[in-house]
Homo-oligomer: A and B are copies of this chain.
Amino acid sequence: MEFAEKVFFKYLKERGFYNTAQRRLVVQEFLRLEGHVCADELYRAVKKKHPRVGQTTVFRTVKLLKEAKLAAEVNFTGKRRRFEHEWGHRHHDHLICVGCGRTIEFANKQIEKIQQQVTGSMNFQPLHHRLEIFGHCLKCRKEKGE
Protein backbone atom coordinates (compact mmCIF):
# COMPACT_ATOMS: atom_id res chain seq x y z
CA MET A 1 0.00 0.00 0.00
CA GLU A 2 1.32 3.40 -0.95
CA PHE A 3 2.19 5.69 1.87
CA ALA A 4 -0.20 8.34 0.54
CA GLU A 5 -3.04 5.85 0.90
CA LYS A 6 -2.07 5.27 4.53
CA VAL A 7 -2.18 9.02 5.06
CA PHE A 8 -5.68 9.10 3.60
CA PHE A 9 -7.10 6.43 5.87
CA LYS A 10 -5.33 7.93 8.85
CA TYR A 11 -7.13 11.18 8.01
CA LEU A 12 -10.45 9.35 7.75
CA LYS A 13 -9.97 7.52 11.01
CA GLU A 14 -9.22 10.74 12.83
CA ARG A 15 -12.61 12.03 11.75
CA GLY A 16 -14.50 8.87 12.57
CA PHE A 17 -14.99 8.00 8.91
CA TYR A 18 -14.83 4.43 7.72
CA ASN A 19 -12.30 2.54 5.68
CA THR A 20 -14.47 1.14 2.92
CA ALA A 21 -13.78 -0.95 -0.16
CA GLN A 22 -15.00 1.84 -2.45
CA ARG A 23 -12.73 4.42 -0.90
CA ARG A 24 -9.78 2.10 -1.27
CA LEU A 25 -10.58 1.61 -4.94
CA VAL A 26 -10.97 5.34 -5.58
CA VAL A 27 -7.80 6.41 -3.81
CA GLN A 28 -5.77 3.67 -5.46
CA GLU A 29 -7.01 4.60 -8.91
CA PHE A 30 -6.41 8.29 -8.23
CA LEU A 31 -2.82 7.61 -7.21
CA ARG A 32 -2.35 5.47 -10.30
CA LEU A 33 -3.57 8.18 -12.69
CA GLU A 34 -1.16 10.95 -13.60
CA GLY A 35 -1.88 14.51 -14.59
CA HIS A 36 -4.99 16.57 -14.06
CA VAL A 37 -7.98 14.30 -13.73
CA CYS A 38 -11.65 15.18 -13.21
CA ALA A 39 -14.06 13.29 -10.97
CA ASP A 40 -15.88 11.72 -13.87
CA GLU A 41 -12.69 10.41 -15.50
CA LEU A 42 -11.73 8.90 -12.19
CA TYR A 43 -15.22 7.41 -11.89
CA ARG A 44 -14.96 5.77 -15.31
CA ALA A 45 -11.50 4.46 -14.54
CA VAL A 46 -12.70 2.89 -11.30
CA LYS A 47 -15.85 1.55 -12.93
CA LYS A 48 -13.86 -0.21 -15.64
CA LYS A 49 -12.46 -2.55 -13.02
CA HIS A 50 -15.28 -2.41 -10.48
CA PRO A 51 -18.59 -1.66 -12.18
CA ARG A 52 -20.64 -1.55 -9.00
CA VAL A 53 -19.01 1.60 -7.64
CA GLY A 54 -21.34 4.58 -7.93
CA GLN A 55 -20.54 7.97 -9.39
CA THR A 56 -21.79 9.71 -6.30
CA THR A 57 -19.30 7.82 -4.18
CA VAL A 58 -16.42 8.88 -6.44
CA PHE A 59 -17.43 12.53 -6.26
CA ARG A 60 -17.69 12.29 -2.50
CA THR A 61 -14.34 10.53 -2.21
CA VAL A 62 -12.59 13.10 -4.37
CA LYS A 63 -13.80 15.76 -1.96
CA LEU A 64 -12.26 13.76 0.88
CA LEU A 65 -9.01 13.35 -1.05
CA LYS A 66 -8.84 17.10 -1.32
CA GLU A 67 -9.57 17.61 2.36
CA ALA A 68 -6.91 15.08 3.25
CA LYS A 69 -4.45 16.97 1.03
CA LEU A 70 -3.83 14.04 -1.25
CA ALA A 71 -5.42 15.97 -4.09
CA ALA A 72 -5.17 19.61 -5.13
CA GLU A 73 -7.87 21.18 -7.23
CA VAL A 74 -6.99 22.91 -10.48
CA ASN A 75 -9.52 24.65 -12.67
CA PHE A 76 -8.10 26.08 -15.85
CA THR A 77 -11.22 26.45 -17.93
CA GLY A 78 -13.93 27.37 -15.47
CA LYS A 79 -15.70 24.21 -16.59
CA ARG A 80 -15.15 20.99 -14.72
CA ARG A 81 -12.91 20.74 -11.69
CA ARG A 82 -9.74 18.74 -12.02
CA PHE A 83 -7.44 17.27 -9.42
CA GLU A 84 -3.77 16.47 -9.28
CA HIS A 85 -1.59 14.61 -6.81
CA GLU A 86 -0.61 16.81 -3.92
CA TRP A 87 0.78 14.49 -1.29
CA GLY A 88 4.56 14.29 -1.61
CA HIS A 89 4.59 16.66 -4.56
CA ARG A 90 6.27 20.03 -4.64
CA HIS A 91 4.19 23.14 -5.27
CA HIS A 92 4.14 24.32 -8.86
CA ASP A 93 2.25 26.65 -11.16
CA HIS A 94 1.01 26.15 -14.70
CA LEU A 95 1.43 27.31 -18.25
CA ILE A 96 -1.69 26.41 -20.24
CA CYS A 97 -1.68 26.31 -24.03
CA VAL A 98 -4.88 27.79 -25.41
CA GLY A 99 -4.17 26.01 -28.69
CA CYS A 100 -3.90 22.39 -27.62
CA GLY A 101 -4.88 22.50 -23.97
CA ARG A 102 -1.63 21.00 -22.79
CA THR A 103 -0.29 22.17 -19.45
CA ILE A 104 3.33 22.74 -18.53
CA GLU A 105 4.34 22.86 -14.90
CA PHE A 106 6.92 25.22 -13.52
CA ALA A 107 8.16 26.52 -10.20
CA ASN A 108 9.93 29.79 -9.60
CA LYS A 109 11.37 30.70 -6.24
CA GLN A 110 11.66 34.38 -7.05
CA ILE A 111 7.97 34.74 -7.85
CA GLU A 112 7.05 32.96 -4.64
CA LYS A 113 9.36 35.23 -2.68
CA ILE A 114 7.90 38.41 -4.14
CA GLN A 115 4.43 37.13 -3.40
CA GLN A 116 5.48 36.91 0.23
CA GLN A 117 6.67 40.50 0.07
CA VAL A 118 3.42 41.66 -1.55
CA THR A 119 1.13 39.93 0.93
CA GLY A 120 3.34 40.99 3.83
CA SER A 121 3.17 44.62 2.85
CA MET A 122 -0.62 44.39 2.60
CA ASN A 123 -1.08 42.61 5.94
CA PHE A 124 -2.56 39.62 4.18
CA GLN A 125 -1.82 36.14 5.47
CA PRO A 126 -1.43 33.86 2.44
CA LEU A 127 -2.53 30.24 2.60
CA HIS A 128 -2.14 29.14 -0.99
CA HIS A 129 -2.16 30.59 -4.46
CA ARG A 130 -2.35 29.78 -8.10
CA LEU A 131 -0.56 31.33 -11.01
CA GLU A 132 -1.77 30.32 -14.42
CA ILE A 133 -0.27 31.69 -17.60
CA PHE A 134 -2.26 31.13 -20.79
CA GLY A 135 -0.66 31.32 -24.19
CA HIS A 136 0.77 29.26 -27.04
CA CYS A 137 3.20 26.41 -26.54
CA LEU A 138 6.18 25.87 -28.80
CA LYS A 139 4.54 22.95 -30.58
CA CYS A 140 1.43 24.94 -31.49
CA ARG A 141 3.48 27.92 -32.65
CA LYS A 142 5.50 25.70 -34.96
CA GLU A 143 2.40 24.06 -36.40
CA LYS A 144 0.88 27.44 -37.19
CA GLY A 145 3.98 28.32 -39.21
CA GLU A 146 6.34 30.08 -36.80
Contacts and interface: CB of A to CB of B under 8 A. Distances in A.
Interface string A96-137: 011000001010101100110011001111111111111111
B126 A106 contact: no
A93 to B, nearest CB: 9
Interface residues of A, number: 34
A95 interface: yes
B131 A126 contact: no
Contacts of A118: 106, 108, 111, 133
A75 interface: yes
Contacts of A106: 118, 122
Given A95-B124, A104-B124, A110-B114, 8 more contacts: A73-B78, A106-B122, A111-B111, A119-B135, A123-B137, A123-B141, A125-B141, A131-B131
